[in-house]
């Protein structure tokens, strides 16, 4: 950001991201102009909250202006609307930084997300927080005069949003910030008293500081009647969460949520509660409809902490676990000291009790949403399900409650199912909840690992989130039924004594083949054994104890966290024609060169079906070519030269 300095005035260029954001706001939110007032009042309210908090330890900051309030002054003659607060104010450097750059840590990700979703995605812009720049929805010029608390000098910031802004010394009698909007010709309706009262009541009635609107009053009567300007408190100026629930409408809850989060959409659900036990605190928690664009990168939480109605800190991470980071709201404690620090919060028994209550209320809210509004819960799960499942790996205390909340696709039909519904549909004699882990439904639905399960009529859950394998290991069981991966080597399916005896005989009959396969694949597999999970496919690879599924291995490698690959177990289907033919070939001609090639080809096939990369794709292609040549020409298997020999012969003939 460049700056051109004059004796009294500095001219700065906006950061490139700010210029892009301004363009998006002005061009994308044309049908939502009125939200500018909510945004500016919200910012002013935050400035007042910050000053009230600082004044606890620095009471001298209030000496020039004891009142903490907002003032809204329309001026029809000048065509301006001024929003002024007596809050913390800004220094010269803070004006340049806060109004000329994006301090938000995710600004680059935000702009990338906009580019992907389209510049007219109002909901996404709302997630980022339009804030101060929403002023340009209704104004073609904005002036900001601010004096920081405890400072003697004031500064004026001004811009027409054409790429630059100016900063120069100004006069201001008291601390705080005054934002003056020079309204566009077609936006003069925002100078109307009735219109402003209606917007303040609709969007900002719950702001905990007085919002005073300058109104015109008639005094006297008859010939002596005159008009005068006066400031009139428009809002109730009481914290919404401190009011009785019976006094608050759904619309007021929704508008408070928008004030708190800068979200354009209403929340899916909320819970308003008061604890009067050992600790006394009030809470108001919301579940958003859509995730913020930086949900997976943000470490802080979305709950504000107040103490005795005094704002203490934004996004208090000690109140909410990481796996509930999507929850938004406020907690107001009567027991914490006003000068509480982050270090004190980490060691506070009061905070631990509040946190436990917040978790319980959040889970209860989600349970109620799932029960009463399944469509809304589906929307929630699609947005935040991955985050919720993190709790299964982190919090054993809430394992059963979280297990009741998770949803998965399954082999039964399209759509999501709960574990409770899965258990209710289990076949007689089925002892476990079966799942398969992979990249997508398409990748796992026809996996050979499911063949015997499907044959028995067992439903299989499709786990396709990167966190799912860890989540399943964290959950372990649900309603007494263990979760078992269809990819694991120790998959135990109920068998009759006759079936067990038949498998033993098959293993003995295939010993020559399995020994040969072990020898050929000794560098690649840990063991070769007869399978009871395959019905249609000739082979599959299963995960041995301590191993990780192929999809998870790939994810870890892509993120630079690769680990040594633990050898798989190769299972063979004794009834498959390919296996029977290969067994016969080994019995008649164990030294046939095709045997090793075909064993490796079967192994490559198993790698592909589990989603693993091939070590030598070109060699695999040559093997396939040789096999297709055999089919096309009808040459007996024993007479088809191995792929390497075929390639050499072809090269010789060409020469």
In a shared domain, residues 229 and 249: no
pLDDT score recorded for residue 301 = 66
Is 376 a known ligand-binding residue?
no
> Where among 233, 259, 282 does a domain terminate?
233
In the 8-state DSSP scheme, what is residue 61?
Answer: G
Report whether 130 belongs to an annotated binding site: yes
Average pLDDT over residues 308-335: 87
Highest mean pLDDT among 65-74, 102-111, 216-225: 65-74
| Distances, alpha carbon 564 to alpha carbons 91, 546, 553, 557, in Å | 55, 11, 9, 10
pLDDT score at 287: 96
pLDDT, tens only, 336-372: 887 777 777 878 888 899 999 999 999 999 999 999 9
Task: Please answer whether residues 323 and 388 qualify as being in contact, where contact means their C-beta atoms are separated by less than 8 angstroms.
Answer: yes
More confident of the two residues 450 and 626? 450
pLDDT of 591 over the 90 cut: no
Same domain flag for 316 and 415: no
Assess whether 209 and 67 both reside in one domain: yes
pLDDT at residue 258, as a whole number: 87
Ligand-binding site membership of 517 (annotated): no
Q: Is the confidence at residue 66, as pLDDT, over 50?
A: yes
Stretch (H or E) spanning 12? strand 10-13
Banded model confidence at residue 111, pLDDT cuts 50, 70, 90: low
Report d(CA 59, CA 57) in Å as an integer. Answer: 6
Q: Exposure string (b/e) for 471-498, b if CB count within 10 Å is 16 or more?
A: bbebbeebeebebbbbbbbebebeeeee
Residues 150 and 49 in one domain: yes
10 Å CB burial of residue 50 (0-12, 13-18, 19+) is middle
CA distance 235 to 206: 7
Q: Is residue 591 part of a domain?
A: yes
Report the Cα 100 to chain-centroid distance in Å: 28
43 is in an annotated binding site: yes
256 and 162 within one domain: no
Same domain (yes/no): 477, 514: no
Q: How do 164-170 and 80-85 pair as beta strands?
A: unpaired
Identify the domain boundary among 434, 454, 485.
485
Question: What's the pLDDT score for residue 494?
Answer: 74
Per-residue CA distances from 341 to 280, 337, 345, 421 (Å)? 19, 9, 6, 46
| 556 close to 566: Cβ distance less than 8 angstroms | no
Domain-embedded: residue 2 = no
d(CA 229, CA 129): 34
Domain with 595 in it: what CATH number?
Answer: 1.20.120.790
Q: Judge whether residue 2 has pLDDT over 80.
A: no
Task: Determine contact, residues 383/390, Cβ cutoff 8 Å.
Answer: no
612 vs 154, more confident: 154
Is 106 annotated in a binding site? The answer is yes
In-domain check, residue 29: yes
Domain boundary among 191, 210, 233: 233
Checking if the pLDDT of 130 tops 80, the result is no
Rounded distance, CA 573 to CA 537, Å? 7
Q: What would the two tokens of residue 322 be?
A: 């990481």
Residues 251 and 361 in one domain: yes
Check whether residue 226 and residue 245 sit in a common domain.
no
pLDDT digits (tens, 9 = 90+) for 223-262: 777 888 899 999 887 788 988 999 999 999 998 898 888 7
* Side-chain half-sphere CA neighbours of 53 within 13 A: 20
Nearest by Cα to 175 from 260, 49, 91: 91
Task: Print the domain residue range for 434.
Answer: 406-485
Residue 362 lies in a domain: yes
- SS3 of 609, please? helix
Structure tokens at 559: 């993120």
- The C-alpha atoms of residue 419 and residue 202 are separated, in whole angstroms, by 42
pLDDT per residue over 6-59, tens digit each? Answer: 568 899 988 777 777 777 777 766 567 888 898 899 889 989 999 998 998 899
Ligand-binding annotation for 543, yes or no, is no
295: CATH: 3.30.230.80
Integer CA distances (angstroms), 114 to 28, 100, 396, 533, in order: 11, 20, 38, 47
What rounded mean pLDDT belongs to the chain? 85
- Element spanning 194, H or E: helix 193-204
CA-CA distance, 535 to 561, in Å (whole number)?
36
Q: Annotated binding residue at 477? A: no
| Residue 174 token pair | 């008291």
- Asked whether residue 200 falls in the same domain as residue 62, the answer is yes
Q: Could you read off the pLDDT of 487-534 as tens digits, one per residue?
A: 988 887 877 777 778 888 888 888 889 999 999 999 999 999 998 889
Mean of pLDDT values over 108-129 = 52
**pLDDT single digits (tens) 365-405:** 999 999 999 999 999 999 999 999 999 988 888 999 999 99
End-to-end CA distance of the chain: 66
Which CA distances in Å does 633 have to 349, 637, 639, 647, 652?
A: 80, 11, 11, 17, 21
**Any idea what the CATH number is for the domain that residue 174 is in?**
3.30.565.10
Asked if residue 644 belongs to a domain, the reply is no
For residue 515, say whether it is annotated as part of any ligand binding site: no
For the chain, percent of residues with pLDDT exceeding 90: 48
Beta strand 328-333 with 302-307: parallel, antiparallel or unpaired? parallel
Complete edge-to-edge strand list for the sheet that includes strand 525-530: 525-530, 568-572, 539-542
Q: Are residues 539 and 423 part of one domain? A: no
Q: Is 129 annotated as contributing to ligand binding?
A: yes
Q: Do residues 535 and 452 lie in contact, with contact meaning Cβ atoms separated by under 8 Å?
A: yes
Does any domain span residue 159?
yes
> What's the pLDDT band for 329 if we cut at 50, 70, 90?
very high
| Confidence (pLDDT) at 193 | 94
Angle CA(403)–CA(408)–CA(410) in degrees, nearest 5?
130
The answer to whether position 492 is within a domain reads no
* Tally of CA atoms within 13 A in the half-sphere of 109 that contains its CB: 13
Total tally of structural domains belonging to the chain: 4
Q: Measuring CA to CA, which residue among 214, 272, 217 is closest to residue 242?
A: 272
**Do residues 88 and 131 share a domain?**
yes
Asked whether residue 302 is marked as a ligand-binding residue, the answer is: no
Residue closest to 175 by CA, chosen among 286, 85, 49: 85
Residue 11 in domain? no
Is 127 annotated in a binding site? The answer is: yes
When pLDDT is averaged across residues 205-218 and rounded to a whole number, the result is 89
Does 119 score more than 80 pLDDT? no
**The predicted structure's pLDDT at residue 641:** 52
Q: Are 151 and 223 part of one and the same domain?
A: yes
Task: Using the predicted structure, report yes or no on whether residue 125 has a pLDDT greater than 80.
Answer: no
CATH number at residue 419: 3.40.50.11260
């Amino acid at each position: 950001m460049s700056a051109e300095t004059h004796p009294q005035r500095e001219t700065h260029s906006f950061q490139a991201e700010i210029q892009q954001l301004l363009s998006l706001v002005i061009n994308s939110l044309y049908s939502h102009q009125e939200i500018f007032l909510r945004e500016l009042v919200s910012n002013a309210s935050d400035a007042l909250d910050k000053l009230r908090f600082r004044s606890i330890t620095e009471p001298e900051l209030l000496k020039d202006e004891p009142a903490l309030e907002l003032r809204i002054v329309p001026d029809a003659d000048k065509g301006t609307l001024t929003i002024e607060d007596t809050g913390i104010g800004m220094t010269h450097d803070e004006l340049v930084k806060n109004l000329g750059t994006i301090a938000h840590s995710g600004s680059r990700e935000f702009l990338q997300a906009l580019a992907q979703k389209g510049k007219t995605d109002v909901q996404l812009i709302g997630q980022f927080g339009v804030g101060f720049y929403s002023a340009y929805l209704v104004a073609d010029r904005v002036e900001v005069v601010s004096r920081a608390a405890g400072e003697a000098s004031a500064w004026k910031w001004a811009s027409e949003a054409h790429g630059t802004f100016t900063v120069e010394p100004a006069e201001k009698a008291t601390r705080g910030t005054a934002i003056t909007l020079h309204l566009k010709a077609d936006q003069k309706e925002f100078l109307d008293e009735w219109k402003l009262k209606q917007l303040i009541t609709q969007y900002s009635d719950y702001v905990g500081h007085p919002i005073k609107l300058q109104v015109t009053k008639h005094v006297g009567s008859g010939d002596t009647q005159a008009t005068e300007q006066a400031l009139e408190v428009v809002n109730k100026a009481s914290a919404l969460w401190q009011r009785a629930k019976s006094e608050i409408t759904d619309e007021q809850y929704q508008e408070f949520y928008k004030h708190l989060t800068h979200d354009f959409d209403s929340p899916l659900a909320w819970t308003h509660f008061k604890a009067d036990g050992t600790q006394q605190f009030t809470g108001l928690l919301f579940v958003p409809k859509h995730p913020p664009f930086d949900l997976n990168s943000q470490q802080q939480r979305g709950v504000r902490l107040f103490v005795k109605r005094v704002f203490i800190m934004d996004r208090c991470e000690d109140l909410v676990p990481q796996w509930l980071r999507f929850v938004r709201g406020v907690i107001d404690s009567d027991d914490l000291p006003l000068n509480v620090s982050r270090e004190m919060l980490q060691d506070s028994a009061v905070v631990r009790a509040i946190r436990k209550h917040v978790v319980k209320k959040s889970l209860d809210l989600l349970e109620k949403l799932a029960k009463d509004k399944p469509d809304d819960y589906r929307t929630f799960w699609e947005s935040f399900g991955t985050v919720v499942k993190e709790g299964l790996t982190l919090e054993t205390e809430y394992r059963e409650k979280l297990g009741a909340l998770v949803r998965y696709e399954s082999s039964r039909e399209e759509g999501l199912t709960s574990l409770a519904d899965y258990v209710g549909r289990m076949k007689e004699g089925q002892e476990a909840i079966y799942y398969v882990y992979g990249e997508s439904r398409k990748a796992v639905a026809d996996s050979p690992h499911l063949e015997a399960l499907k044959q028995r009529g067992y439903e299989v859950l499709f786990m396709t989130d990167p966190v799912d394998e860890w989540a399943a290991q964290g959950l372990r069981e649900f309603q007494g039924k263990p979760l078992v991966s269809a990819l694991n080597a120790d998959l135990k399916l109920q068998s009759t004594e006759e079936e067990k005896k038949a498998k033993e005989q098959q293993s003995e009959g295939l010993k020559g083949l399995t020994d040969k396969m072990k020898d050929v694949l000794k560098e690649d597999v840990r063991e070769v054994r007869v399978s009871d999970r395959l019905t249609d496919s000739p082979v599959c690879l299963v995960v041995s104890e301590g191993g990780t599924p192929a999809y998870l291995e790939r994810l870890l490698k892509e993120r630079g966290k690769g680990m040594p690959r633990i050898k798989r177990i190769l299972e063979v289907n004794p009834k498959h024609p390919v296996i029977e033919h290969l067994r016969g070939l080994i019995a008649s001609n164990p030294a046939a060169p095709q045997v090793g090639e075909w064993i490796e080809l079967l192994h490559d096939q198993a790698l592909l079906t589990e989603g693993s990369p091939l070590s030598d794709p070109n060699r695999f292609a040559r093997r396939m070519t040789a096999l297709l040549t055999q089919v096309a020409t009808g040459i007996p298997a024993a007479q088809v030269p191995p792929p390497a020999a075929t390639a050499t012969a072809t090269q010789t003939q060409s020469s």
